[in-house]
A and B are shown apart, each in its own frame.
Chain A
Amino acid sequence: MIATFPHMGALSVTLKSLLSGLGLTVLPPPPISKLTLEIGAKYAPETACLPLKVTLGNYVEALEAGADTIITCGGVGPCRLGYYAQIQQEILKELGYNFTMVTIEPTAFDVIKIIRQLAPKISMTTIYRAFTLAGAKMSTLDEVEDVLRQVRATEQVPGTSDHLYQQAVAEIDSAADPREVRVISDLYREKLLAVEKNDKNPYNIGVVGEIYVMLEDFVNQDLDRRLGRLGAHVHRAMSLTNYVRTHLFRSRSYIDRDNEIAKIAAPYLGHSIGGHGLKSIGTTVSMAKQRFDGIVHVFPFTCMPEIIAKNILHQASNDHNIPVLSLAFDEQSGQAGVITRLEAFVDLLNYRRGRH
C-alpha cells in the first residue's frame, strides 16, 4: 500500500510524519502547480468549489506517481467538503485509476477505527509515538509561521525571513523526535527575531475566511507574503493546530474560544451556517475591537458559508469602523488582479492612518 493525501499548506509535513510513523509507505502528491489546477478543473464539475478541483488534481498526480491509497477527510455538512470524497472517487474511477479511498469522518472514534484498518498490527505505543511526533511538528510549524508573519512585515532585506522559514520546514520535516522538533522551534524563533528590521510601523491585518484558501499559498496567490512585503503583520484567524484541536480532538479551551467567537458574532449572525462563516464574522468584530487596521476575507468562489458571511460582513465593517476586503478565488484568479487589490487596500489603510 502506498498512501497519499491532499495538500493544504504545510499539512503534508504533519501527515507524512503521522502516516509513516504508523508504518505506512507514504507518497505525498507533487507540490500544487498550474498543472494540478488544470487537471482538477478539467475533470471536476464546473461549478464545484476550488478545493475540490485542486485536491482532485493532487490525487491524479499522486496516482500517476504510483500511489494506490488516498486518505482524506469526510464531513457532516452543510458545507460541500463532506461530499468531496464521494464525487472525487467516482471521477477517478471513471478515469480508470485503481485505488482505495479511505475517508475519515471527523470523529475521534472514526479516526481510531481507520488507524486500526490501515495499520492493524502496530502497538498502541507506536500509535501514541506517531501522534506525538506529528502533533509536535504541526504545532511547531504553526508557531514558526506566526513568528514569520510578524518578522516579514518589517524585515530590512525582503525574503530573509522566508529563507529561514524554508530551512525550518526542512529540518522539522526530517526530525525524528518531539524533543528535536522543540529545539528546532526555539532555534528558528531566535533566528527569525534577529532578522534586521526597517524602521516602519507595520499594519495589523487579520485574514479570515475559509481554511483551505487561507492555508494553501498556491491557491491564495501567496497572500501572506504579498501583504507582508507591503508592510503588514498578518494574523490568521485559523491554523491547522486550531482546526485539529477544535474539530477532531474537541479540546475544551479551543471549543470555549469558538463559543466566545460565536457570541461576538451573534448580533450579525445568530447560528452556525457551516464551514467557517460564523467564525469569519466573529473574528472580524473581535479583531476590530483589538484595533486591527483591516481585514482580508478569503474564500473559494461560490463557497456557500463564506458568501453568506460576506453579505453580512459589510454591516460589521460599518459598525466597527474596520475596512474589509473580500477576495474570492477560483481557477481563473489572476495574480495581477489580486496584487492590485491588495495594494489598493494597503493604500487605504495608510490613508486612514494619516487621518487619525
Chain B
Amino acid sequence: MEEVNLAQTIQIGLPRGLLYYEYGSLWQSFFESLGAQVVVSGETTKEMLNSGGVLDEVCLPLKVYVGHVASLAGKTDCLFVPRIVSVARQTYTCPKIMGLPDIIRSNISGLPEIIDPNISLRQRSTDILDAVIDTGRRLGQSKTFSIRAWYFAWRQAKAKRTLPVAQSANIRVGLIGHKYLIYDRFISMNALDKLLAAGVDIITPDMVPADQIDKAARSIDKKIYWSYCHELAGAALALIGQQAVDGLVFLTSFSCGPDSLISEIIKRRTQAGNVPFMLLNLDEHTAEAGLLTRIEAFTDMLKRRNR
C-alpha cells in the first residue's frame, strides 16, 4: 500500500483538552488508520495552565487547551485542532470551540501546520465526510481511503451505554459536567476521586443512555442548542426524574456561558424534585482544600439525610 507509506512519517499532535475527551479515541484510530503516528499531549500540568494565561477572560478548559497545544510545539509535524461548529442538526458546540483554530493561531507562535477541518453537521450529518476527506487530503490520502479509515474508526468507537444498577447500598451522587472538566484531574482537582473517596457511588452523564437523555430534555420549553449542554441537562433531569440519585453535583468552570444558564434550569428542577444540589465553579484560583471541604460537607449531609 503505497498510500500508507507516504503518511507513515507524519506525526500528528492531539492536544488533550476540550473535545478530545469526547472524540479522542475516535480521532486517534482514524489517524492511525490513515497511517499517521499520533502523539497525545500528557496530563494537564500547572505549566500548561500558565502558558494558557496569554488568553484573557476565557474559561479554564480553553486556557488549559492552549497549554496543551504549546506543549506539543516542536514535537510533531502537524497539529489536529478541528473547528467543531456543530455535531448534530440545529445545534452548536460553543463559540469558544467554534473559534478554536483562530484562537490558537493568534496566540501561540512557532507552531507546525495546523489541520483544522470545519466540522459542521448543523444541516446534514453526512457533512462529516467533507471534514474527513479534507483531513485525509492534507495528509496526502485519497478520498476513498480517508472515508474507509473513518468508517473503521467510527465502528470501533461506537459503544452502547446502560445506566448502572445500584450495586451497593451506597449513596448515589450524579456528577454533572463537561467531560473535559470531570476527566481532567488537574482542572477538576480530582473532584471525581474525592467524591468516591467520600464513600458515594457516582453517575456521570456519559452513563445515562442517549434516549433517556433526549426524553428527559424534552420537558424543557425550548430545545437546548448547545449539544453538550443538552446532554448535561438531559442527563441531570433524567436522574432527577427517575429518582436515581440522592444528590446532584454540577461541575462547571467560571465564565462558561452555556453552563451558566443550564445550571439554573437544573437547580430549579432539583428544588422541585427535592434533590440536594451543589454547584462547584472552577477557576484558576480554586483552592483544593476548599473544594474538599465542600464535597465532604455535601456527602455528609446526604448520608445524614438518608439515615
Stretch at the interface among B1-9, B35-43, B158-166, B217-225: B217-225
A247 to B50, CA, bound (A): 40
Q: Which among B93, B116, B261 is the interface contact of A45 at CB below 8 angstroms?
A: B261
Residues A68-104 near B (CB distance < 8 A): 74, 76-80, 82-83, 85-87, 89-90, 94
Report chain B residues within 8 Å CB of A314: 106
- Interface status of A28 (Cβ within 8 A of chain B): no
Q: Which residues A325-352 have CB closer than 8 A to chain B?
A: 328
Chain B residues, Cβ within 8 Å of A272: 98
In the assembled complex, the Cα of A87 lies from the Cα of B256 at a distance in Å of 16
* A268 lies within 8 A of chain B by Cβ: yes
- Tell me the smallest distance from the CB of B280 to a CB of chain A, in Å: 13
Q: Are the CB atoms of A45 and B264 closer together than 8 Å?
A: yes
A261-280 residues at the B interface, CB under 8 angstroms: 268-275, 277
Chain A, residue nearest B86 (CB): A78
| Complex partner residue of A74 from B55, B222, B260, CB under 8 angstroms | B222
Question: Contact between B92 and A78 (Cβ–Cβ < 8 Å)?
Answer: yes
Taking the complex as formed, is B95 at the interface, i.e. its CB lies under 8 A from any CB of chain A? yes
Q: How many residues of A contact B (CB 8 A)?
A: 41
Complex formed: what's the CA distance from A74 to B261 in Å?
15
Query: Residues of A contacting B264 with CB < 8 Å?
Result: 45, 48, 87, 90
Complex Cα gap A85–B222 (Å)? 10
Chain B residues within 8 Å of A25, by CB: none
CB of A107 within 8 A of chain B? no
B102→A268 contact, CB < 8 A: yes
In this assembly, does A302 line the interface, its C-beta being within 8 Å of a C-beta of chain B? Answer: yes
Instruction: Say yes or no: A311 contacts B261, CB within 8 Å.
Output: no
Q: Within the complex, which residue of B95, B96, B102, B116 is in contact with A79, where a contact is CB–CB below 8 Å?
A: B95
CB of A312 within 8 A of chain B? Answer: yes
Nearest CB of chain A from residue B111's CB, rounded to whole Å:
14
Instruction: Identify which of residues 250-267 in chain A touch chain B, using a CB-to-CB cut-off of 8 Å.
Output: none
What's the least CB distance linking A110 to chain B, in Å?
13
Q: In the complex, how many angstroms separate the beta carbon of B82 from the nearest chain A beta carbon?
A: 11
Can you show 19 pairs from A to B with CB atoms below 8 A apart? A45-B260, A45-B263, A47-B256, A48-B264, A74-B222, A78-B92, A78-B98, A78-B226, A80-B258, A80-B261, A86-B222, A90-B265, A268-B106, A269-B99, A302-B257, A308-B58, A311-B55, A312-B103, A315-B106
Interface residues of B, Cβ cutoff 8 Å to A: 55-58, 83, 85, 90-96, 98-99, 101-103, 106-107, 116, 118, 220-222, 224-226, 254-258, 260-261, 263-265, 268, 281
Q: Which 8 A-B pairs have the closest CB atoms?
A: A77-B225, A78-B92, A47-B260, A304-B95, A308-B99, A315-B106, A273-B95, A304-B257
